[in-house]
Structure 1
C-alpha cells in the first residue's frame, strides 16, 4: 500500500473514530450538563493541569520516538512499556500525597477525595500506551475505532446513571475511570503485541534522549495549556471555572474531530518522508489548508450562533458561558497550525528547538497573565488570543526554515480561508438578527443562520476556486 493510500485510509478511519467518540460525548455532555451544576464541572476543571502534567511525564515523549523510529523492534516496545508503567505508579503516588495541598490551594475540601480516585487513570493508561502507539505507527485507525467507540458509550452511560442517582461530581469521575479502564482492556484484547520481560537501557537512552526534551516541552505545554483553569480556579468562583471548562470543552469538539484526526495521521506520515523537504512542504501545506477549510466555517458560525446553541443544548443556566465560548473559538482556529508546525520540528529530530520555543512562548504567557489578571476573566481570555497569534509567528518561523515554507507563505495560503469564513459568519449573524421573537426562535436562528452561513462559505469557495476546495474535489472525492 502506497504512503498516499495508507494516509487516506488512516484519515478516513481516524475521522470516523473521532466523530463517533465525539458524537457520543456530545450526547452524554448534553444530558450531564442538564443534570449537574456548573460547579461540578469546575471541580474537575481544577484538575486539568495536573492530569495533563501527569500524562506528559508518563509518556516522556518515548511513544513519539517509537513512531519516528523506522526499525523499532520488540526490545524497544517492551522497554518503553515497563518504563511508562513505573512512571505511572510514581505519578499516581505523587498526586495522592499532594491531594491535601491541592485542595487547600483551591480552598475546595472535596477535591482531596476526588483526586485519589480520578487520578487512578495514571495507573491505567500505561498498560495500553504502547499498544495504542503501534496502531498509530501502522496507521491502523480502524482497530482503534472498534476500541474507542464501545468504551466511550459504556463509560458515558455509567456517568449518566450516576448523575441521575444524584452523585454530582462523582458522575464525571466514574465516567472518566470507566472509559479509561475499558480502553486499556480492549487495547490488550485487540492488540497482537505483548511485552517481553526485558528493559534495554541502551534503547531507553535512545528513546529518552529524543523524548526528554519533548517531555520537558510537553510538561511546560501541559501546565500552560491548562494554566487558565488553574488561575480561574484560584482567583474566581468555582462556578466561573465551570463556565470556562464547559466553553473550552465545546470548543474542542470540532477542533478534536477535524484537527486531531489529521494530527494522528500526519506525524507517522511526516516521519515516513522526513528526509525529503519538498515532499514535507507540499504535504504540510495541503493538510493545513484542508483542516482549516473545514474547521473555519464551523468555528466562525459556532461563535456567531453561540447563544441559541447553548440555550438549546445546555439550557438557560449555561448562557453565562457564551462569551467565553465565542472568544475561545478564535483560539480553536489556531490549534491545528501550531500542531503541524511543531510536528515538523519533531520529525526533523529538533526536540531541542521544540523545547526552546516552548520556554519562550510560556514565558510570554506568564507575563500576559500577570498583566491581564487585575482586569478580570475576559482580559485573560483576550490575552490568550493574542498569545496564540504570537505563538503562530514563532512556530511557523522556525518550522518554515526546515522545509522552505516561511511565515508569509503560510499566511498567504490560509488568509483567504479565514476571509471567506468571516463573510459566512456575517451572513449567519445577519440571519440570526433578522429573526424576531416567537416560539422556537432559537431553533430557527441556529438552523437558518447555520445553513445560510454554510451555503455562503461553499459558494464563495467554489466561485473563487479556493485551493483547498479544489484539492478536496480532485483528491478526496476522487479517491
Structure 2
C-alpha cells in the first residue's frame, strides 16, 4: 500500500472534515440562539425522510463504481443517464410525500417543506455518479475543497434567512442551496455525457456489489433514524430537538477524527482486495489510533457535557445535557465502527456488511422502542449506547473471524493501552471537585486537565511513540 497515497488522502480529508466541522459548529452556535428546539424538531423530522431518499438515490452505485475496475467511460455515462431518470422520479415522489407526513405528525407545515426539498433530492441523486468518479480518481483535494466551500455558503444563507425570521426554512433552504452547488461543482469536474444509448449491461456489472451495499444502507437507515421517528411521534417536536442536538453533538468527534480516515480507505484499499493481511493490518492500525483518542475523549465529554452544550448552543438547550452525557460513552465505539464498512467493501464482502446491518437494525429498533417506552429521551440514549456496544462486538466478530481469519485476541490487544489511558481520565475526573467558575472557564479548565492527563497516559503506556510511529508509516 502506498503510504504517500494514504497521507495525501488523509491530509485533504482532514482539511475538509476539520473545516466543515468548525463551520457546522459556528453556524449551529449562531442558529441555536435564533431558532427554538421546536424549529430544530421540525428540521429533524424532515431530515429523516431526506436521508431515506438520498439513500434511495445512491442505490449503492457510488461505492460500486469505485470498487469496479472494469467499468468503461461509456458504462459510467450509461449509469449516469439512469441516475438522471431515477432522480426525476424520486424528486416527484418526495414532493407529494409531504401530505401523508403532515397527517402522521399532525402538522401541515410539512407539505410546502417537502415540495421545496424535492428539488434537493433531485440534485443529490444526480450527484452520485460524478462524485464517485472523482473519488475513484483519488482526487481528495477536489472532494474536500467542494465540501468546505459549499458548507460556508450553506451556513451564510441559513444564518441570513434565520435573522429574517424564516425559522426552520432557514436550514431547509440552506440545504437546498448546498445540494445545487454540490452537483454543479462535481459535474463541472467530470462532464459526464448522458447522450448515450441506454443499456442495462453497465447496471448489471455493478449490481451484485451495489445491491448488498444498498440493502445495508437501507437497513442502517432505519437502525439510525428509528429513534427520531418514534420520539417525534410519541413525544414532542421540542423533545426531538433536544435529543437530536445531543445526538448530533456526540457525532462530532467521529466526524473530526474517524471522518478523515474513512473516506480514504475504500478508494485505496480496493487495490488490495486479494491481500487480506494488508487490509487486516491497516484495520488494526486505524483501530489503535481511533481508540487511543476516542476512549479518553468519551470520558471527557461525559464529565464536561454540560459545559460543552451550554457554551456551544446556549442556555435554552440545557435539557439536552443528560442525553448527551449518556451518548458520550459511545463516542469511541462510533469512531471505530464508522471505518468498518469500508473494510467490508475493500474485501468485496458486502454480503457480510448486509448481515451486520440486519442484526444491527433489529437490535437498535428493539433498544430504541424500549427506551421510548420507558418515557424519556435519556432512557432512549441509554438504550442506544447498549445497542452500539453489542453491535460493536458482532461487527468485529464478522471482520476478525470471518474476513481476516483472526480472533478477538488480536483486536483486544490493540484496545488494552487505550483503556488504561481512558481509566486515568476517569479517575481524575471522578476526583475533581465541582468547579466554582462560569461555563467558559469551567470548560477551559476541564479541557486543559483532559489534555494533560491524555499526554501523561500516552507516555506512561508507551502509546505516544507508538502513535507517532503508526502515523509516520
Q: Same fold (TM over 0.5)?
A: yes
- Which residue in 2 is equivalent to 1:255? 254
Deviation at 1:195, TM superposition (A): 4.7
Q: Does 1:116 align with 2:115?
A: yes
Distance change (3 Å), C-alpha of 1:472 and 1:419: closer
Higher mean alpha-carbon deviation, 58-67 vs 332-341, is at: 332-341
What is the CA deviation profile of residues 36-79 of structure 1, one whole-angstrom value per residue up to 9, with x for unaligned ones? 00111101111233222211111111111111112332123223
Q: Does 1:447 align with 2:444?
A: yes
- Which residue in 1 is equivalent to 2:381? 381
- Which residue in 1 is equivalent to 2:168? 169
Which structure 2 residues correspond to residues 145-164 of structure 1 after superposition, within 5 A?
145-164=144-163
Which structure 2 residues correspond to residues 207-246 of structure 1 after superposition, within 5 A?
207-246=206-245
Q: Does 1:197 align with 2:192?
A: no
Deviation at 1:86, TM superposition (A): 2.2
Distance change (3 Å), C-alpha of 1:381 and 1:290: same
Deviation at 1:295, TM superposition (A): 3.2
What secondary structure sits across from 2:340 in the alignment? helix
Q: Structure 1: how far apart are the matches of 2:106 and 2:430?
A: 41
What secondary structure sits across from 1:120 in the alignment? helix
What secondary structure sits across from 1:424 in the alignment? helix
Higher mean alpha-carbon deviation, 92-101 vs 339-348, is at: 339-348
Deviation at 1:389, TM superposition (A): 1.2
Q: Structure 1: how far apart are the matches of 2:2 and 2:116?
A: 43
- Give the aligned CA root-mean-square deviation in angstroms: 2.0
Work out whether residues 96 and 115 of structure 1, in 8 Å CA contact, stay in contact via their aligned partners in 2. yes
TM-score normalised per structure 1: 0.93
Distance change (3 Å), C-alpha of 1:72 and 1:292: farther
Higher mean alpha-carbon deviation, 139-148 vs 218-227, is at: 139-148
Q: Structure 2: how far apart are the matches of 1:7 and 1:35?
A: 41
Which structure 2 residues correspond to residues 315-394 of structure 1 after superposition, within 5 A?
315-377=314-376, 378-394=378-394
What secondary structure sits across from 2:338 in the alignment? helix
Q: Structure 2: how far apart are the matches of 1:190 and 1:10?
A: 18
Q: Structure 2: how far apart are the matches of 1:328 and 1:119?
A: 32
What is the CA deviation profile of residues 336-385 of structure 1, one whole-angstrom value per residue up to 9, with x for unaligned ones? 33233333322222223322332222122333334333212222221111
TM-score normalised per structure 2: 0.94
Q: Structure 2: how far apart are the matches of 1:425 and 1:180?
A: 42
Q: Which runs of 5+ in 1 are unaligned?
A: none
Deviation at 1:198, TM superposition (A): 4.1
Deviation at 1:470, TM superposition (A): 2.8
Work out whether residues 222 and 361 of structure 2, in 8 Å CA contact, stay in contact via their aligned partners in 1. no
What is the CA deviation profile of residues 121-173 of structure 1, one whole-angstrom value per residue up to 9, with x for unaligned ones? 21011332222212222222111222121211111111001011111011011
Number of equivalent positions: 471
Q: Structure 2: how far apart are the matches of 1:422 and 1:45?
A: 35
What is the CA deviation profile of residues 393-425 of structure 1, one whole-angstrom value per residue up to 9, with x for unaligned ones? 211111112113333422331243134124224
Work out whether residues 80 and 204 of structure 1, in 8 Å CA contact, stay in contact via their aligned partners in 2. yes
Work out whether residues 244 and 321 of structure 1, in 8 Å CA contact, stay in contact via their aligned partners in 2. yes
- Which residue in 2 is equivalent to 1:6? 5
Distance change (3 Å), C-alpha of 1:193 and 1:90: closer
Q: Structure 2: how far apart are the matches of 1:301 and 1:198?
A: 57
Q: Structure 2: how far apart are the matches of 1:342 and 1:62?
A: 15
- Which residue in 1 is equivalent to 2:84? 85
Q: Structure 2: how far apart are the matches of 1:247 and 1:394?
A: 26
Q: Structure 1: how far apart are the matches of 2:62 and 2:436?
A: 54
Q: Does 1:474 align with 2:466?
A: no
Work out whether residues 305 and 428 of structure 1, in 8 Å CA contact, stay in contact via their aligned partners in 2. no
